[in-house]
Each structure stands twice: as C-alpha cells, then as structure tokens.
Amino acid sequence: YGHEIHDLASNVSQKMAESFGIMSIDFKDWPFIFRIIKYNFIPHDIDTMGVQLHSNTGFITLFQDDDKIVSGLELLDDSNSLKKVPPKPGSFLCIIRDFGWSNGKFFNVRHRVQCKETITRYSFGAFMLASRDGNVEAPAKLVELDHARVYRAFQYEELR
C-alpha cells in the first residue's frame, strides 16, 4: 500500500508540474511520510477539535479515510470561512501546499478535524515532503516578468 500511495502522490505532483509546463522534475525520489491517524472519540468529545487548525509543511498531502462515513474535516477558505468536506468513500483528498515551489501560485490550505460522532475512525495520510536535497525553490518557468520571485530559495528544514 505504501508503494502505491507514493506512486499516486508522485503522479499527482507530476501532473501539477506539467500543468505549468514543467517537464524536468521527477517526483519519484521525493521522500514522503505515511501515517495512520486514529481518532478515538467518546461522547464528551462531540463538537470539540480532534486536530486543531493547521497547515501541512510538505509538498502535497493525500488523505484517505477508513470505510466509516464520518464527517469532521473542515478547510479554511480564502475568506477565512471554514468549509465542511463531506466524506466520499473510496476516494482520496489531496491538499496542495507548496507555495514556495510554486512561487505563490498554490494556496496553503489550513484545515482541522472536528469530532462529530462517537466512533473510532482511522485516516491514512501520505505527506510528500520536499525534493531529496531539501531545496525549495520556484522553477524558472514559474518566475515571470509579471510574477516576480515571491520567495527566496530555502531548505525544507528551515520551514519546519
């Protein structure tokens, strides 16, 4: 499963880069972390936060919930409103994050998990980090006359 999810994350990243006309990056060797997240909610937890509002530090994140249809994920939109994400069995949710690599073209989505039901639930997260050398820099193709470099190059570890 880990190899398959890494391939999926790599392919999604490749398609995102290609949508900007960037063909020279191979995401297959980018490291990622795979986590199994357990939420063990009890009646006292209803309407509390399971995970506080945050953003991920990697390039992209893929989430898949177990087969239980439990809502609770909320995304903060650009008007600072929380939007509920309805669960969809058998699907993945992709959170794009890397504003540094994209020169500000990608939006870093903040999200949280609310307890809505008293049930034990599992989520599976694949967090693709930065390139193997840890360097985060917008490709030249994303730095244009009308869209100057927004972020200096930095090491991924500086962000964490």
| pLDDT tens-digit map of 65-76 | 766 667 788 999
Closest CA to 61 of 8, 110, 18, 97: 97
Place 80 in a pLDDT band, splitting at 50, 70 and 90: very high
* pLDDT on residue 108: 80
Across residues 105-114, what is the average pLDDT? 85
- The three-state secondary structure class of 112 is strand
DSSP 150: -
Nearest Cα residue to 10 out of 21, 26, 34: 26
Distance, in Å, from the CA atom of 34 to the CA atom of 9, rounded to the nearest integer, reads 11
Residue 79 near residue 149 (C-beta atoms within 8 A): no
The domains of the chain, with CATH numbers, are: 2-159 (2.60.120.330)
pLDDT tens column, 34-67: 998 888 888 888 888 788 898 887 888 898 876 6
How far apart, in Å, are the Cα atoms of 118 and each of 87, 109, 121?
A: 16, 27, 9
- Please state the separation of Cα 61 from the chain's center in Å: 3
- Whether the predicted pLDDT of 10 surpasses 90: yes
User: Helix, strand, coil % (nearest 5) of the chain?
Assistant: 20, 30, 50
Per-residue model confidence as pLDDT tens digits over 116-159: 888 888 888 888 888 878 788 888 888 886 788 888 888 887 76
Are 110 and 76 in contact, with CB atoms under 8 Å apart?
A: yes
Q: Would you place residue 15 in the very low, low, confident or very high pLDDT band (cuts 50, 70, 90)? A: very high
Task: Please count the other Cβ atoms lying within 10 Å of the Cβ belonging to residue 108.
Answer: 15
Q: What is the pLDDT of residue 160?
A: 61
Coil, strand or helix at 70: coil
pLDDT-derived band at 95, boundaries 50, 70, 90: confident
